[in-house]
Structure 1
């Protein structure tokens, strides 16, 4: 793992003078990893303009088993259905997260049971923990005193922010019953009220800011 840590730190050091690149995770299992195609570009533009991040406006795509994941401090994952990680995928993702990477998984509805099972391969000795509304991720640029905002209604359940930590560092964020990605989409996709989209974008900007500055 020391080799991967060295690679990751070198990449971060080289990229410091340039816009940070982020990526969308292309996973196996049949789930629509490509859902919400306008979400990340819209979030990046909003965050760069309002939260003073410096993120490349064209997110890339990466597979969980590829060593290319170490090029990206932030990886986003979404979808509605099945998720499958091979043993090699799981080991690579674990090394990535433990060596400084960050994975945000946004349940687009229906992903949760498959994702929980897939994560057992990545971290067999850890479980998702509820993230307190007092966590810094909810107060980076925009203040969310009640924690994760509700963007789309699914099963009439409250939104949940769940995470996996390495010591005190949040390495994986799983957002459930919120659907931030739908809120990041262009207005004509879901016809959400502007104040709802704005909540989603502000929370997304907080996540990016947290990853790049903590």
Structure 2
């Protein structure tokens, strides 16, 4: 399926990235179904209720307008996987990387394989991503404390377009989880879900 056919599909699917290296790519099991439900209710999208699992070297990667990656530990992309991700992102795909804690050094190293010529840049708070559907005039919401740092949104920009967004010191995915998992206040969960909806909407409207 080519990327430019996404908008014509009756039902879209989003995916979780199953990467190598030993990190827990499968973390936050209830997060994406909850985000999908929120998007379908609030953005009137028609996303399938459960996410798919896709590997970075698979041709199936090109089936998804939005791919989510999370975890705590090591990440390793082979050269062919890195090239496949690069082609996917240049073709119009969108990768959201959510640092569940401890992912940053691996993400920065492996995404250099994907885009050796690019560096992550912190997005200004007036970036369209932060107001795609719900306003976030101060950038990412803070969901969980890690090292007491402010949340930061880092992006890879390819020819003027944001193709990869890295949410750091924020833990959006934890905020998308069932409330019983972390017992976060509902106000925090709603902010996390709204920011997640911005990500999905941005990915689907900036092909």
- Fold match by TM threshold 0.5: yes
Count of residues paired in the alignment: 206
Structure-to-structure mapping, 1:83-162, within 5 angstroms: 83-162=75-154
Q: Distance in 2 between matches of 1:102 and 1:55?
A: 16
Select which of 6, 10, 29 maps to 1:12.
Answer: 6
Q: Deviations over 1:155-191 (max 9, x none)?
A: 0001000001111211000000000000000000000
Unaligned runs of 5+ in 1: 1-5
Q: Distance in 2 between matches of 1:104 and 1:164?
A: 11
Q: Distance in 2 between matches of 1:159 and 1:54?
A: 30
Could you list the runs of 4 or more consecutive aligned residues of structure 1 that deviate by over 3 angstroms after TM superposition? Answer: none
Secondary structure class of the residue paired with 1:170: strand
RMSD: 1.1
Structure-to-structure mapping, 1:1-214, within 5 angstroms: 7-9=2-4, 11-12=5-6, 16-214=8-206
Secondary structure class of the residue paired with 2:2: helix
Q: Deviations over 1:53-76 (max 9, x none)?
A: 221111100000001100001100
Once the 2 structures are TM-superposed, how far is the Cα of residue 203 of structure 1 from its aligned partner?
A: 0.4
Secondary structure class of the residue paired with 1:133: coil
Normalising by structure 2, we get a TM-score of: 0.97
Q: Deviations over 1:82-117 (max 9, x none)?
A: 000000000000000001100000000011111111
